[in-house]
Amino acid sequence: MSKSEKIPTSAVAKWVFTALVFGFVLGWVRYWIGYYILLQGIAAGLLMVWVVKRIAKEQQQFLVNIRFKMTVILFFSFMIGQAFGFGFAQPVFDPLGWLGRVWNGDTSESVFGIFSTGGVAHQAFAEGLSGGFWLFLSLFDLIFMFFFMLISMPLKTNKKRS
């Protein structure tokens, strides 16, 4: 596939749909079960790109040529799917309202990576996280997710395929 060839819209739609589904499922799980900082982002990012690469066997060179753009598209598709997952997990669809309530401290989110450690950390975070520290850890997780998505996209090789 040369750089000038266009990728079928249906292929990109499949990849975006994959990211939306991953986000939706993890948003629902995150709302009801809780959040495991770093593990969720890294695992979701790596698994999502792995599935996209499996779907895109004939378009690997295309993914190489637009790896950063495709990572951004998949990342934001995941985030949209996750917002819908948050929303549908609630009795009333309100994904941004829930995030706002966590930010304001009106509710909290269970964070397994911290509250499962025991001792002082467990006591401090047993009720879950909210506010600035919750936002910091969520953004930290998203940065790692984006990084692992980017590095797991197909790379250019010097090999000539026959």
Q: What is the pLDDT of residues 21-57, one digit of tens each?
A: 999 999 898 888 877 777 888 899 999 999 988 888 8
What pTM, to 2 d.p., does this model score?
0.78
Question: What's the pLDDT score for residue 145?
Answer: 93
Question: What's the pLDDT score for residue 125?
Answer: 54
Q: What is the DSSP letter of 145?
A: H
Q: Percent of the chain at pLDDT above 90? A: 30
Question: What's the pLDDT score for residue 146?
Answer: 95
| Of 146, 157, 141, the residue nearest 48 (C-alpha) | 146
Look at residue 128 and tell me whether its pLDDT is greater than 90.
no
* Cα separation, 109 vs 30, whole angstroms: 8
